[in-house]
Each structure stands twice: as C-alpha cells, then as structure tokens.
Amino acid sequence: MTNLNLYGELARRNIEMTDRERLAVDAASGGAMTARQRMELLFDEGTFQEIDRFVTHRCTDFGMGKKQVPGDAVISGSGMINGRLVHAYAQDFKVMGGSFSEENTKKICKVLDKAMQLGTPFIGLNDSGGSRIQEGVYGLAGVAELFLKNTLASGLIPQISAIMGHCAGGASYSPALTDFIVMVEGQSHMFVTGPEVIRAVTHEEVSMEELGGASTHHQLSGVSHLLAADDKECIVLIRELLDYIPSNNLEESPSRKCFDDPRRREPLLNNFIPADSRTSYDVKALVRAVVDDGSFFEVQSGYAANLVIGFARLNGKSVGIVANQPAHLAGALDTNASRKGARFVRFCDAFNIPLVTLVDVPGFLPGKEQELDGIIRDGAKLLYAYCEATVPKISLITRKAYGGAYCVMSSKHIRGDYNFAYPGAEIAVMGPEAAVNIIYRRELAKQQDDTLRLQKLEEYRQRFANPYVAASRGYIDEIIMPEDTRWKLIMALSRLKTKMIKNPPKKHGNMPL
Ligand code: HXC
C-alpha cells in the first residue's frame, strides 16, 4: 500500500469510529483518559469542533514512512466552555508517545493563532515524550515556533496547560510560558532532563516522581499551580479557573449572579484577629468569610504558603486575592512568596482583574539564606508588579504592616486605590521590640532591669502600633470594623469600575527577573 492509500485507509477508519465508540473503547482499557476523552470532557457537551484531523507527519527517516497516523498524535480545535469559545489541543501519547513533530506543532500553532485572532483562551492538554526524535531539527523547529507563539500570546489571551502524562525535555518550556499549569497526581511528570540523563551526566539517582512528579512541582519547585487527583478533576479545575478570567486582555471576567447579600455583616470577624500580634490565624478563613458564598479558588496552595493567592468573587465580580498568611512563617515575605505573588499580580493586571490585598506582614524574612537567595531581587519583583499594576487595587491591613513589606503590599504610595485598616492595625518601620532595641541600644545597655525597655516599648506602641498615624496623612483611607469588610470591599470595587490609568508608553520595562 502506498503512503497515500495508507493515509486514506487510516483516515477512514478513524472517522468511522464515532466519538461514543471511541470513548467506550478507551474507558474499557482503563487508566488515564485518552486525548479524545479529555477534549470531550473539557468542552461543553457536543461543542468540540476538531480541525486538521487528516494531517500527518512528513518524516521518512528511521522507517517513519510506514508510521502515518491521521492527526499525527495531536487533536486540535475549538469548543465552548461555560458558553465561551476556547481553543485547545490534546496530545495523544498512544501515537508515537504524543511526540511533537514538525507537522503537529503546526496544528497547535494554528489553533493558537486562531485563539489570538479571535481573543479566546488557549488550553494545552500535554502528554508527550517531547520533540519527535526521528525528525531531528524539524521537530525542534516546530516546538521552537510554539514557544514564540506562547510568548506572543502572553498577556493577550489566557493560556492554561494541563500536564496529564509526560512533559519531557525542552518541550516543558511551552507550558512554562503559559499562565497556569495543572498537574495530575501520580500520573504527570515534567522535567527538562530525565532521570536517565541525570544518572549519565551527574551520577545522581533520582526517581521520575521525585524529579518531576505533580507533588514535587506543586510543593517544591512551584512550577505547578494546581494539583488534581485524576484527569477528570484536572479538567474540572481548568473549567473552574476559566470562569474567573476573561477571554482576552480587552475584556472583563464573566460576572456571575450573586446570591450572597453584598451587605452581609460578619460579627464573628470582630474577634477573629488575635489581639496578641504574635498569635497566628488562618487568613483563608477570613477570605472565605468575606467573599461570595465562601468560595475561594486558591492557586499554588502547596508552595510558599506564607502568601496566599487565588480568585474569588465579590458581588459576582471576579477579583484576585493576595494575602499574607500569618499561619506560615508569620506571613513574612521570602523569595518564593515574592515570586509567587509577583506573577499572580501581573496576571491579574494583564487581564483586568482587580486586586484585593490582605496585609498582615512582619516584613521580609530575615536571614543569611534569604539574602544569598536574592531576597532583594525577588522582593523587588513583587514591588515592581504592584507598582506597574493599573487595575483597581484595594488593600486591607488586618494587623501588622511593617517596613518595606508595608510599602510593597499595595500601599497608597504605589497607587493603592482604597487602603483600609482594622482598628488594631500596626503600621511602622518595624515591630516595637526590634525598634526599641535599635533606637535605645546605648541607654538600654546601661540598665540593670527591664523598666526602661518596657516604658519605651509602650511609648512606641502608643505612637505607631495603630493605624491612626497613617490615616492622619491619608495613607489609610478608612479604618473599618472587621464585620463590615465584605460590604466595604464591594463598595470600593464598584466605585473603581471605571478606573482608567496608564503607565508611560515604552517598549517594556526591565523587571528585576
Ligand atoms: C518519538 C517517542 C518519543 C519521542 C516516546 N516515544 N518519546 N517517539 N519521539 N520523543 C515513543 C516510544 O518510542 C514508544 O514508541 C512510545 O512513544 C511510548 O514510549 P515508552 O518509552 O514506551 O513509554 P514510557 O515507558 O511510558 O516512557 C515515556 C517517556 C519515554 C518517559 C516519555 O518515552 C522517554 O523518556 N521519552 C523521551 C523523553 C525525552 O528525553 N524527550 C526529550 C526529547 S528532546 P513504541 O513504538 O515503542 O510504542 C526535546 C527537546 C525539545 O524534547 C526542545 C525544544 C526546543
């Protein structure tokens, strides 16, 4: 049979098998879902429209001429997700390990081009052994073109990558260039060089799970934003995430009807923040108490837990939440938290999602390790992201706001639009203990007892451990009762609906990367 005939025969068989039959066959084989099942589940029922189903590769080396499969290991097209048009592709590991060929990357680039032209989100369901080895540089060329398109699409349309199997080699840079990565526990792996190459080069023994498993990337490297138990949950998470974000950078996120009273008061919040500033609490409980229906879609929950980020709704409108977490490292900002926050703030800013920042921060995390890790550079990332953001920015100081971290966390000085504080907020250069030890070092050294130190501590607390000094200068717009938080945030958001500020025109800034 000639290649052409083989192509026709396989194509016919492929088309003749209905999706329903295919799903039944695949489901019966057990394990992870097939690429087609994943696409069917991703889109609203019956809306998936496939393109380029007959594309095949053009490689004839290494006997590849006989390995022609219509579609060439990638299913691509568009469909609706919650009624909105979305473009997507899914790699089929069962065909040549889902590897990227010159031709199938053209298919992916074609749908990405369409997504950019039409202003729709773009989703990649990855399950691949990387660049197709038999194709040599042709395969590399294809993947490199995809990198370029991912980069050009960044900030224009939201891009989400699911790693549902392997994502090996340089190909992992395509997901890394997208906005969010979802991984499936016990099933997905992502690495630039695999365990065998590592063994050969560095003689290090490392398992695939340890190197690039979902937990590794969710908790240690921070590469993965969301963790799913299985394929189904992975797709549900993508659909849920999309609901908080707009289709492109010119649109607003979809609004949802709000059944939660915008004026709902939460009297329990009046006693929620512990009076002793050294006692921790879970800021996520505060977030849930305030947002619509207690529903908070957290992102990167396993990484840098001292900063909580995620999406929620206030009166039906999507907001990005950034909150120091006193329950972890006392909420101090370290290198990981700074990078995590910076990327999230930039995403929200690129896609018109207002930022609500909950501040309870003792400062940047002190220590040699942090300094050598580059807390100066990474802290500057978060600062830069907040400074350049032009979306509505609302902050609420719930307790501590000390030093540089006060400035960074959406303060008035870096264009915060509404800056609220609870009556117990403490806004100062540093905590009372540290401040008194520095200012009165000489006097305290001469003392036999603690009387002077305690007196100076009280003086400092009286002066700065409250929000009134900042409020007297207008750095805090309003001191609010905790029970009113929800309504105050909603009112501020509604006033900022028409906010329109622009940064000076330039090619691009030079973020401290
Ligand atoms: C061609 C590939 C392939 C690839 C897998 N296959 N990866 N074919 N190119 N990159 C094929 C296998 O030959 C096999 O074909 C089938 O897919 C299933 O693969 P297995 O190895 O049997 O599966 P498994 O044991 O599950 O292992 C999966 C794997 C392994 C860990 C992903 O296949 C692997 O290590 N692949 C290479 C990964 C890698 O190093 N990729 C980097 C390529 S370079 P048969 O016919 O036997 O079923 C790269 C650079 C891109 O990506 C840079 C862009 C700038």
Is residue 510 assigned to a domain? no
Q: Is 99 in the pocket of ligand 1 (CB under 6 A)?
A: yes
Distance 164 CA to ligand 1 centre (A): 15
Could you tell me if residue 421 is left (phi over 0), alpha (psi between -120 and 50 degrees) or otherwise beta? beta
Do 100 and 27 belong to one domain?
yes
Do 120 and 153 belong to one domain?
yes
Do 380 and 400 belong to one domain?
yes
Pocket test for ligand 1, best of 96, 138, 151 (most atoms within 8 A of CB): 96
What is the domain range of residue 397?
267-425+466-495
Distance 147 CA to ligand 1 centre (A): 20
Is residue 505 assigned to a domain? no
Do 207 and 229 belong to one domain?
yes
Q: How would you label 406-419 residue by residue, b for 16+ Cβ within 10 Å and e otherwise?
A: bebbbbbebebbbb
Do 278 and 233 belong to one domain?
no
* Residue ending a domain, choose from 242, 258, 276: 242
Do 346 and 478 belong to one domain?
yes
The 8-class DSSP code of residue 117 comes to: H
Do 59 and 163 belong to one domain?
yes
d(C-alpha 392, C-alpha 412), whole Å: 12
Pocket test for ligand 1, best of 61, 131, 177 (most atoms within 8 A of CB): 131
Instruction: Determine the residue type at 430.
Output: M
Is residue 473 assigned to a domain? yes
Do 484 and 357 belong to one domain?
yes
3-state class of 273 per DSSP? Answer: coil
pTM over cut 0.85: yes
Do 320 and 438 belong to one domain?
no
3-state class of 467 per DSSP? Answer: coil
d(C-alpha 81, C-alpha 247), whole Å: 11
Residue of the nearest CA to atom 54 in ligand 1?
A: 170
Do 385 and 437 belong to one domain?
no
Is residue 41 assigned to a domain? yes
Is residue 90 assigned to a domain? yes
Do 414 and 444 belong to one domain?
no
Is residue 250 assigned to a domain? no
Is residue 261 assigned to a domain? no
pLDDT by residue, tens only, the chain of 513 residues? 344 443 344 344 444 444 444 444 444 444 589 999 999 999 999 999 999 999 999 989 898 998 999 999 999 999 999 999 999 999 999 999 999 999 999 999 999 999 999 999 999 999 999 999 999 999 899 999 999 999 999 999 999 999 999 998 878 999 999 999 999 999 999 999 989 989 999 999 999 999 999 999 999 999 999 999 999 999 999 999 999 999 999 999 999 999 999 999 999 999 999 988 889 999 999 999 999 999 999 999 999 999 999 999 999 999 999 999 999 999 999 999 999 999 999 999 999 999 999 999 999 999 999 999 999 999 999 999 999 999 999 999 999 999 999 999 999 999 999 999 999 999 988 888 888 989 999 998 888 888 999 999 898 888 888 999 999 999 999 999 999 999 999 999 999 999 999 999 999 999 999
Quote the radius of gyration of the chain (alpha carbons, Å): 26
d(C-alpha 244, C-alpha 469), whole Å: 37
Q: How would you label 24-46 residue by residue, b for 16+ Cβ within 10 Å and e otherwise?
A: eebeeeeebbbbbbbbbbbbeee
Do 79 and 227 belong to one domain?
yes
Give catalytic residue positions.
169-170, 404-405
Is residue 222 assigned to a domain? yes
Cβ atoms within 10 Å of 465's Cβ, excluding its own: 20
Residue of the nearest CA to atom 46 in ligand 1?
A: 96
Residue among 318, 298, 296, 297 at smallest CA distance from 307:
298
3-state class of 126 per DSSP? Answer: strand
Supply the CATH number for residue 280's domain: 3.90.226.10
Domains: count for the chain:
3
